[in-house]
């Protein structure tokens, strides 16, 4: 079975789609910046759909970051083939949770990633710092650096863990 994590880029960010097999081995990554590449909305939507459908035969679920992307999510799920797309909100509560829960599998070498220079750079640049006011840990890349691949990977690994542990029930 395959699991997908989708981090949608806004403005200068990248849209990243990561596919992972059951044993937490990354099997496919697509990364693009629709602005840099001069893509229109429909082209971006088709690229996401194409990635999803490429893995559809073995796909268990695809978690899609919906933060300010509700319209794109709705447009994608208008296609009945996209029924395994599950909305995921990255928030001040969910981001630390999905990151913290992926640290141990990384340390134990459970998560296997390809030799992708951009992903490796983002992983090395990804840091945590304690918020002086709340005391909570905040995760992000250093100023001016991207974390889109890290977030897509984290969402993907979270999807795999959740779906192997019974899945998410949606009442639509």
Positions of E strands within the chain: 2-7, 15-21, 26-32, 59-65, 85-88, 126-130, 137-141
Distance between CA 132 and CA 24 in Å, rounded? Answer: 34
Count of helix runs (H) and strand runs (E) in the chain: 5, 7
Nearest of 110, 111, 13, 120 to residue 65 by alpha carbon: 13
User: What integer pLDDT is reported at residue 172 of this predicted model?
Assistant: 46
Angle made by CA atoms 91, 92, 94, in degrees to the nearest 5:
60
Q: Are 155 and 16 in contact (CB under 8 A)?
A: no
pLDDT at 152: 94
Of 77, 68, 94, 74, which is closest to residue 158 (Cα–Cα)? 94
pLDDT for 68: 80
Residue 171 has a pLDDT of 44
- With a cut of 50, which residues of the chain have pLDDT below it? 171-172
Is residue 9 a contact partner of residue 72, using CB atoms and an 8 Å limit? no
Q: Do 116 and 29 touch, CB atoms closer than 8 A?
A: yes
Nearest CA-CA partner of 88 in 10, 7, 21, 153: 7
What is the model's pLDDT at position 168?
Answer: 55
pLDDT at 134: 74
Return d(Cα 23, Cα 26) in angstroms, integer: 9
38-87 pLDDT, tens digit each: 889 999 999 999 999 999 999 999 999 998 888 999 999 999 999 999 99
């Amino acid at each position: 079975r395959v699991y997908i994590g989708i981090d949608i880029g806004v403005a200068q960010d990248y849209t990243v789609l990561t596919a992972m097999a059951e044993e937490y081995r990354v099997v496919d990554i697509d990364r693009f910046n629709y602005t840099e590449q001069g893509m229109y909305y429909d082209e971006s939507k088709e690229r996401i759909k194409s990635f999803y459908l490429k893995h559809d035969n073995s796909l268990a679920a695809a978690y899609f970051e919906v933060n300010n992307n509700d319209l794109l999510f709705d447009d994608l799920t208008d296609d009945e083939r996209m029924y395994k797309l599950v909305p995921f909100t990255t928030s001040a509560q969910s981001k630390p949770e999905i990151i913290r829960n992926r640290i141990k599998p990384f340390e134990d070498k459970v998560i296997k990633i390809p030799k992708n220079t951009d992903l490796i750079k983002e992983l090395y640049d990804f840091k945590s710092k304690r918020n002086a006011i709340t005391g909570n840990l905040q995760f992000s890349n250093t100023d001016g650096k991207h974390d889109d691949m890290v977030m897509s990977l984290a969402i993907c690994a979270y999807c795999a863990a959740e779906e192997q542990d019974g899945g998410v029930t949606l009442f639509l």
